[in-house]
Amino acid sequence: MRFALKLALLALAASVAIAAPWPYDEKADAEADVQAALKSAHAHHKDVLLIFGANWCEDCRALDKAMHGSSQAMIAGKFEVVKIDVGNFDKNLALDARYGHPTGNGIPAAVVLSAANKVLYSTRRGELADARRMSEQEIYDFFSAKMVSPKS
């Protein structure tokens, strides 16, 4: 009986894990997504927040989860968000290079752009690469303090 219960719980956990959506769309056209976000940012007087990461990355998934927590309203109010899949550091390399190679010290990495496509902030030192060890409050504080920019 115990074995059957454990097996059932394991199967349930596996099905929930499989059903959970991945934060990064591996088939997305990241270039087109960035252009659409810039256009929307211009129309809505926001900045653009690019999050470079990958679904295999535990820190990337932790950051995504935290961004849907207490930070969600603040982020949605200030930014058009684009999640950019870097695969195994073999995808969207031109975007990474264009915005100063924010992934150079790990992922997830973030870049804030003005609606005019100017870099306002970039995590060039791997500031978020240990996101799984950051509390939701620390992530909120990071976005509110370091990434809120004056309008350009």
Kindly report the CATH number assigned to the domain that includes residue 98: 3.40.30.10
If one counts the domains in the chain, the total is: 1
% of the chain with per-residue pLDDT over 90: 73
- In this model, does residue 52 exceed pLDDT 70? yes
- Name the token pair of 25: 């769309």
101 — phi, psi (to 5°)? 55, 55
Domain of residue 110, residue span: 20-146
Looking at 45-126, list the stretches that DSSP marks H as alpha helix, in order from N- to C-terminal side: 58-67, 72-78, 93-98
Looking at per-residue pLDDT, the higher value among 82 and 146 belongs to 82
Determine the average pLDDT of the residues in 5-20.
48
Determine the average pLDDT of the residues in 57-61.
96
- In this model, does residue 18 exceed pLDDT 60? no
Per-residue pLDDT band for 144 (boundaries 50, 70, 90) equals confident
Question: What pLDDT was estimated at residue 71?
Answer: 87
- In this model, does residue 14 exceed pLDDT 90? no
User: Is residue 7 in a domain?
Assistant: no
User: Is residue 5 in a domain?
Assistant: no
Determine the average pLDDT of the residues in 10-35.
76
User: Is residue 11 in a domain?
Assistant: no
- Sign for the CA dihedral angle at 91, 95, 99, 100 comes to positive
User: Is residue 152 in a domain?
Assistant: no
pTM of the full structure: 0.83
Helical (H) or strand (E) element with 83: strand 79-85
What span, in angstroms and rounded, lies between the C-alpha atoms of 47 and 132? 25
- Sign for the CA dihedral angle at 38, 40, 41, 42 comes to positive
- In this model, does residue 95 exceed pLDDT 80? yes
**Whose CA is closest to 120, among 139, 148, 92?**
148
Average pLDDT score, the chain? 87
What span, in angstroms and rounded, lies between the C-alpha atoms of 77 and 47? 10
